[in-house]
Amino acid sequence: MTGYGTIWDPLRRKYVAHTPEEDVRQWFIIQLRQLMGVPEHMMMSEVGFVLGKKKFRADIIVYGRDTAPAAVVECKRPDVRLDNSVLDQAVRYNMVLNVRYIFITNGVNTFVCRRKDDGQGYVPVSSLPSYEDMVK
């Protein structure tokens, strides 16, 4: 029953409100673990940080073995269109996080971008990176 009750978040280790966006977040945590090989203990959800004087929350951050952020995931409800404004939101987060990979997903579509080798911007990638690729 999406939108009612609670759902277990293994990263926060607690029950959270069961919303359409939370369904997408929990689904993507599974994708990170099973398809990309990200160890659960190397992820955090709903991570707060400050950019300028504004407070933000990243849906999911993947950390490298050195504990530096390696990837950020922005999750939206399935009915939200993944457009440039969603990507811009994740790129803005990266001004603080400085990650190599950015994921945006609504559970229907998922887009992945990798930081250019020169560090100046991002390019789309056509396949999901492995955890090893994320932390290179």
What would you report as the CA-atom Rg of the chain, rounded to the nearest whole angstrom? 14
Total residue count of the chain as it appears in this document: 136
Structural domains in the chain, sorted by start: 6-134 (3.90.1570.30)
What CA–CA distance (Å, rounded) separates 91 from 109?
18
**Considering the entire predicted model, what is its pTM?**
0.91
What CA–CA distance (Å, rounded) separates 116 from 123?
6
State the maximum Cα–Cα separation within the chain, in Å, rounded to a whole number: 46
The SS3 of residue 58 is: strand
Give the pLDDT confidence of 61-78 residue by residue, as tens digits: 999 999 999 999 999 999
What does the block give as tokens for 49? Answer: 């940080």
The SS3 of residue 120 is: coil
Per-residue model confidence (pLDDT) at position 38? 98
Per-residue model confidence (pLDDT) at position 1? 44
Per-residue model confidence (pLDDT) at position 7? 94
Low-confidence ranges of the chain (pLDDT < 50): 1-2
